Amino acid sequence: MGVPAAAVPSWFQRHRRTLFICSFLVAPVVLYLVYVISPYIQAFQISLTDWRGVSGTPNFIGLDNYRRLFDDSVFWKAVTHNAALLVLLPVVTIVIALFFAFLLNVGGAKGTSGIAGSGFYRVVFFFPQVLAVAVVAVLFQQVFRPDGSGMLNGPLMALGVKPIGFLSDPGIAFWSVLGVMVWQAVGFYVVLFSAGLASIPNDMFEAAQIDGAGRISLFFRITLPLLWDTVQVAWVYLGVLALDVFAIVWVMTDQHGGPDFSTTVMAAEIYRNAFQYFRFGYASALGVIMFFFTVGFAILSLRLSRRERIEY
């Protein structure tokens, strides 16, 4: 039996809102499936082949590419560097950004207002964000030059100190990369945390001061708990940045991740294997591993840092 004609308009009226919303969601969902989900599926398919990316028919080799990863010393170096960045970059950046944000918004003479010129300092801190990553990498190549024209080694050599191989010494190069990444990222999170602090009622800081709270107590008992959701988001973003770092390493360092692979990361090895060695199957396997690392980190971070929301 067919649906009565009178029931169709009635059904349409009841679900009009749902149909209206769905009509706007169709196009973005289709685009997301085509340009996001589909490449992920294709990457996994390619990782099961020996495709070289140029010509020839890909041969199915199963999990051979994943087995090769366990015997690849360069891959493990890249994983180690990403893991170190995963811990150090969020911790260092968030600590520095929280310190400056608290100073600019609460650290004034009275303890409830920012220092003089805080608006100007926010602009200065944020300035590295307007520079492209490649520009930052080239800039710090000059800063770290190992001769007298280097911004750091020049004054050292003028004082008779032996120049430091910031990018040529395997023991220092990684820390130089970390320093540049913190320098570029910290300004954004200063502004982000400042926006969060601006939403906290000033009365809360004043009441705490009346009760005898010092600046350290203000930070740990009021500022940090009320900014926890923002800190949580910053941690996830910085963790994803630590796993996905590529341009800084590829442009700034010797041998695109050197010397002796002392600064290489997974993204650099994906690019190297795909576009220098033409091992697209192996590069796709690296990409799949990196994808699961990133998703796993995001889920784990959100779960471990979950806490009861504080209303004010």
Whole-angstrom CA distances from 215 to 212, 232, 311 are 10, 23, 22
CA quadruple 283, 286, 288, 294: dihedral sign: negative
CA–CA separation, 64 and 47 (whole Å)? 9
- Residue 107 confidence (pLDDT): 58
Report the predicted TM-score, pTM, of the whole model to 2 decimal places: 0.81
- Residue 212 confidence (pLDDT): 65
What is the amino acid identity at position 22?
C
Predicted confidence pLDDT, tens digits, the chain (312 residues): 455 555 556 656 666 777 777 888 888 889 999 988 898 888 899 999 888 877 767 888 888 999 998 888 999 999 999 999 999 999 999 999 988 888 887 755 454 556 677 778 788 888 888 888 889 999 998 888 888 777 888 888 888 888 888 888 888 999 999 999 999 999 899 988 888 877 776 667 667 667 666 667 777 777 777 788 888 888 888 988 898 889 999 999 888 888 889 999 999 999 999 888 888 999 999 999 988 888 888 788 777 766 655 555
Do 209 and 112 contact (CB within 8 A), yes or no? yes
- Residue 1 confidence (pLDDT): 47
CA–CA separation, 285 and 301 (whole Å)? 24
H-type alpha helices, the chain: 7-14, 16-32, 38-47, 64-70, 73-105, 118-126, 133-143, 153-158, 170-198, 202-210, 215-218, 224-226, 228-244, 247-252, 266-275, 280-304
Query: Residue 159: is it exposed, middle or buried by C-beta count within 10 angstroms (0-12/13-18/19+)?
Result: exposed
Domains by residue range for the chain, with CATH = 71-304 (1.10.3720.10)
- Residue 179 confidence (pLDDT): 93
**Cis geometry, peptide bond prior to residue 9 (ω within 30 degrees of 0):** no
